[in-house]
Amino acid sequence: MFLQEKLLKAAAGNAPVRVCLIGAGKFGSMFLSQVPTTPGLVVTRIADLRPDAARSACRTVGWDEARVDAVKISDDAPSALAADDVDVVVEATGNPHAGVRHARAAIAAGKHVVMVNVEADVFAGAALAREARAAGMVYSMAYGDQPALTAEIVDWARSCGFDVVCAGKGTKYRPHYHQSTPETVWEYMGFDPDQAVRDGMNPRMFNSFTDGTKSSLEMAAIANACGLTPPADGLLFPPCGVDDLAHILRPASEGGVLEAKGMVETVSSEERDGRPVFRDLRWGVYAVFEAPNDYAAGCFRQYGMNTDASGRYSAMYKPFHLIGMELNVSILSAALLGQATGETRAFNGDVVATAKRDLTAGETLDGEGGYCVWGKLVPAARSVREALLPIGLADRVKLARDVKAGATLGYADVAIPEDNDVAAYRRAMERTNA
């Protein structure tokens, strides 16, 4: 409500919020589709490795030629994000190394950063957020994506005086999906392969969702923004519908599946035998919280809340998310309110490379969504203590030894070039947070 009022004032005063979008893929295109109907917000620059594809994306989402021609579109991201006609940089490349470099450059140039790139945020978000705060700039999660929407529910619950027991999202999951590759992803997702190709769907990107990596990244982002705890050795992905959230996502000592209170977890929309979960949360987000006293527990019952058998645990959820079509909330919140819609506050969770199959010394890893590794969520303290390899450093590096399927890789297992500035930035963050 406050954003709309401020936005209209900005439009009336001919002082629009000016945006540089880096990466005009699916998320970026969904954001671009909303720009023509948002007075007071303009995209002044788009940076993409394929400028012609970015122009095509603008036309595909409904921009007329005058609007396309008014935007400076190039493959020069550093120049675009540093330009004087930019207030907010939206990093939507999905590449952790590019994301770190772009965010640091934007902060140095005095721009707010909306980090769509959860890969970069989990890889080095604690350090990036510190840089932004020191510079007086906003570093924000992307509203519309599941981590920011989950963080919003967590903030609501805590602001109401409830303790958050668990928070997370839903997805489609079965254990063998961890071995999914770009060749098997469409079968697991339930998509027609030919249609996927016609629709321009990226098999590696979708495979990251299927093999569990993206869920791990998003749960790490939530843990790091909300002060929650990851499971000790990866997500459990329990099958769970919205009516059972409070029953299943409570501590194991009370009949649930959690190691303790205050954790993150992803629930599956499929039973282990493939049957659909009743009233699943595949596209949504949730938080389970606890009544602080008997009176509050009674109110849960009186007002029709779904609870566990004790009546003390309940849940709030949002069944859908609109991804890039909701991104304006983050952009406008940063530019007009000076606030983030979720921000990395600590290095609680990390996502580490785990072998999909037996790997052989000399092989070159192919990163997120590929054929070699998937990303497992672990506590950051464990990752640092055991020198585990972040999924963001498991791309285009050679293995130094054989690794068995299911084993977690470490820094010692690969050869990272000494001149890799992003790897150095990450190692410095590890030392700071050790």
* Tens-place pLDDT, residues 219-256: 999 999 999 999 999 999 999 999 999 999 999 999 99
- pLDDT of 273: 97
The Cα 249–Cα 245 span in angstroms is 6
- pLDDT of 1: 56
Report phi then psi at 226, rounded to 5. -110, 5
Cα dihedral across residues 53, 56, 57, 63: positive or negative: positive
Q: What kind and span of H or E run contains 17?
A: strand 17-22
Stretches in the chain below the pLDDT threshold 70 = 1, 434
Q: Which amino acid is at 250?
A: R
Count CA atoms within 13 Å of residue 163 on its CB side: 13
Task: Mention every residue, 6+ apart, whose C-beta is less than 8 A from residue 14.
Answer: none
* Spatial contact of 60 and 19, defined as CB atoms under 8 Å apart: no
- pLDDT of 434: 55
Closest CA to 282 of 215, 341, 349, 224: 215
Report phi then psi at 167, rounded to 5. -150, 150
* Spatial contact of 300 and 307, defined as CB atoms under 8 Å apart: yes
Q: Which amino acid is at 391?
A: I
What dihedral angle (degrees, nearest 10) is formed by the CA atoms of 318, 349, 204, 353?
A: -150
What dihedral angle (degrees, nearest 10) is formed by the CA atoms of 220, 223, 224, 227?
A: -170
Closest CA to 330 of 321, 342, 322: 342
- pLDDT of 353: 98
Closest CA to 168 of 322, 317, 376: 317
Sorted by where each starts, the structural domains of the chain and their CATH numbers stand as 2-144+324-337 (3.40.50.720), 147-173+212-320 (no CATH), 349-433 (3.90.1210.10)
**pTM summary value:** 0.96
- pLDDT of 199: 73
